[in-house]
Structure 1
Amino acid sequence: MGEVTNIMALENLQVHFPGRGGMLSNLFGRPAAHVRAIDGVDLTVRRGEILAVVGESGSGKSTVGRVITKLVQPTGGKLVFDGRDMTSVEGLALRPYRHRVQMIFQDAYQALNPRHTIFDIVAEGVRSLHLVSGHEAIMQRVAKSLAAAGLNAPQDFFARFPHELSGGQRQRVVIAGALAVEPELIVADEPVSMLDVSIRAQILQVLIDLRTQRNMALLFITHDLPVAWSIADRIAVMYLGRIVEIGSADDITFNPKHPYTVALRDATPKVRPMINADPLPGLNGEVPSAARIPTGCRFHPRCPLAMDRCRQEEPPVVDVGPHHQSACWLAGTSQHS
């Protein structure tokens, strides 16, 4: 078996958005606090693997996906793809990167132009990147992509418009549009959260099959831990713009070492009955804004097992098992099992 290589790496990635100051701040000229959407993320995606990034709304997981697909420019850190630093690459120089990295958005209806036919939507990337020439070749590429996304008799969809399709069919068209350029990495941002449970399972199976058939890497962004476990090889848990735990899908789901991961697991009725463990306090309220949290207590506001030490210094990321890491002062103790 050959050595496992990484296709993508994030190194100390940071994304800070300027906040809006209040009336008094504007009056006295005080600078508005920045929202730290991502605050020092180190993450790798291996060739041909499915890595799930899990966290609740506001954790920064979607921003990670948008940085990887070059929709958001990072404030600091590096984005390395296939050994090349892509952090500052822009404009026409991004064309080869667009061919190799694609994104599947959460809201398929918003992602599809209602004025375009399904054929034109799926063919858009092929045409703009000049991947094939001639109408016949483009038709073959579009038909192949629609079929790979699970739409049988793909020619029947060529002349149809998005409003004529079901939610599941629209999501398959979005997947087909990404597949048409034959990428090596796809970032899927909550691709099944708006679908019925039965359709959700079908879409997940499509993504799993595509990974097997094309040796394609997939970064799967979700708030749903059971969904992540069902599809991913590894799971990274995000909280307040940082990775607090990462490991195999089984380890993160059934043997978490960070209390935030435990709380996410216990909040999910589909996973909890499978685990024999003492309950921990749940997560209450909204994720606090990173702009309002002083340095040294980032993990205190909602961490179920936060202690005084959390107020003084951030816990380092430590190894808690084979290929399993956690950022918690209590990592490795029985309180997390």
Structure 2
Amino acid sequence: MSTVMLVLVVLLSVAFDFINGFHDTANSIATSVSTRVLTPRTATMMSAGLNFVGALVSAKVAETIASGIVNEVLPSYVIAAALCGAIVWNLFTWYIALPSSSSHALIGSLVGAAVVQTWSLKTINWINILDKVIIPLFTSPLIGIVIGFLFMKLLYFFLRNAKQENVKHWFSKLQIASAALMAYSHGSNDAQKTMGIITMALVSGGVISADTGVPLWVKIVCATAMALGTSMGGWRIIKTVGMNMIKLQPVEGFAAETSAAAVIQVMTAIGAPVSTTHVISSSIMGVGSAKRLSAVNWSTAKSIVTAWFVTFPVTILLGMGFTFLFRLFPV
């Protein structure tokens, strides 16, 4: 691997992490902004800080991405192509205000790029893809809906005789804590995916060995890029998730954020690169359904779910396309 290409891969990784930050800001703060518990500026700054902290805590997800997806060392231009595919999809879905999975985008694009490079499906570790990627990415939204629904029902039961003014007062404070936990959880899972890509590139370039793990400087760079991206605020998607899908009260925002954060923390602990977008969106659907089914704007929800299903195959094609393009114009 040339030094130029290695630098390009690192820069593209940082760009992806930055875009991931502002694309997925809604995951952390949409509910607290929509309930007016926090101002957009305060929520964004808090989210950025806790995304940074969360990104430094663990490396299990990064290890899954670095060595658990592809069975062989990929050339640098293939990794760069995969990053380009994921970036294009993230920018497109941000532009149309649709919350899609950055995890799906990155992994799908990586799979497509690797298949074109080797012309073999055997280069992909399909067992790991199934166990740590596909199953969690599809089951976590279902878990998010169920936990959000049950948790909200439980809160309704315990608060059934409480005065609404008191409920709003106390849960306005509690939602700040749940938003903070959600931001931390987002950083602990999402930023690690880019750490894994950079680590893969460093191994490919012979800079580090495969058993070295994620270097500290990679963790800091990715955590910083994620935090800076988050600080920019993805207002288009915040409106879709926090306002268009359901009108939330502080107690409902607290339930959605707490449910989503719990699911993400479990997935992070087992090294599964789960989609935080899927989890928070489905938790909000579950919370809204606990109130009444008509409380959820199912038209908006349908658009979001559609994006979940098309992201993986579309980004596989994007990864393939960019790999062909990089072959034509080698760096």
TM-score by length of 1: 0.21
Q: Which has the higher contact order (CA 8 A, sep 6+)?
A: 2
Bigger share in strand? 1
Give 1 or 2 for the bigger CA radius of gyration. 1
